[in-house]
Amino acid sequence: MNKIAVYSGSFDPVTNGHMDIITRASQMYDELIVAILINKSKKSLFTIEDRVELLKKSTKHLPNVKVDNFSGLLVDYCKANKIYTVVRGLRMLSDFETELQMANMNYFLSQDKVDTVFLATLPKYSYISSSTVKEIATFGGSVKDFVPKVVEDALYDKLRNNNL
Ligand code: PNS
């Protein structure tokens, strides 16, 4: 049986922490779909098209990783694509509460079909988040240690064009 999992998130933008989870999860499943949520109510720096492109470029060396986007409930995306495993990374204790709530809610909403598998984020990535990366870049700091090179370039382009 083909083992398939989805790694869902906002990825605004993808960080080295996300890349660590994607790389490790891609070794555990035959196919890993990185699914980006289209969330019109949340202000994002990168458009959905930008985020798809940045993820595709960052994962092009991983042949079993596909990039997709979705709107609505994650369990509906899972149902439509016959996926029963969601992968999420846990950075620190503060992630645990929301992640546990989301995992249990998704399990319930999917009538006990969609389970969540947590990977422990490596300590060297545990303090990286898309929001801190955006803040550092906005105030002129270097983000080269935190994101793939294509993302670093895209961030500075975006911030220059937005006059931030
Ligand atoms: O990268 P993020 O912002 O932590 O990812 C959160 C995400 C996209 C995984 C989560 O918000 C989600 O799955 N949203 C889709 C809507 C949904 O299914 N909500 C119910 C979850 S309890």
Whole-prediction pTM: 0.96
Beta bridge pairs of residue 118: 88
Residue owning the nearest CA to atom 2 of ligand 1: 9
Distance 73 CA to ligand 1 centre (A): 8
Write down the pLDDT at residue 30.
98
Q: What is the mean pLDDT of the chain?
A: 96
Given a contact cutoff of 8 angstroms between Cβ atoms, the answer to whether 103 and 110 are in contact is: no
Distance 99 CA to ligand 1 centre (A): 9
Residue owning the nearest CA to atom 20 of ligand 1: 73
Q: Which helix (H) or strand (E) holds 108?
A: helix 93-109
Write down the pLDDT at residue 16.
98
- The answer to whether residue 1 scores a pLDDT higher than 90 is no
Residue owning the nearest CA to atom 6 of ligand 1: 9
pLDDT in tens, 2-43: 899 999 999 999 999 999 999 999 999 999 999 999 998 999
Write down the pLDDT at residue 5.
98
Distance 74 CA to ligand 1 centre (A): 7
pLDDT in tens, 40-52: 899 999 999 999 9
pLDDT in tens, 143-155: 999 999 999 999 9
Label residue 164 by pLDDT band (50, 70, 90). low
Q: Which atom of ligand 1 is nearest to the CA of 72?
A: 16
Label residue 128 by pLDDT band (50, 70, 90). very high
pLDDT in tens, 105-122: 999 999 999 999 999 999
Dist. CA 14–CA 11, nearest whole Å: 5
Q: Give the orientation angle of helix 149-161 with respect to helix 130-138, to 10 degrees.
A: 50
Nearest-CA neighbor of 44 among 145, 146, 163, 162?
Answer: 162
Q: Which residues are catalytic?
A: 18, 42, 91, 130
Residue 161 has a CB neighbour count (10 Å cut-off) of 8
Radius of gyration (Cα) for the chain, nearest Å?
Answer: 16
Pocket lining for ligand 1, CB < 6 angstroms: 8-10, 37, 73-74, 102, 105-106
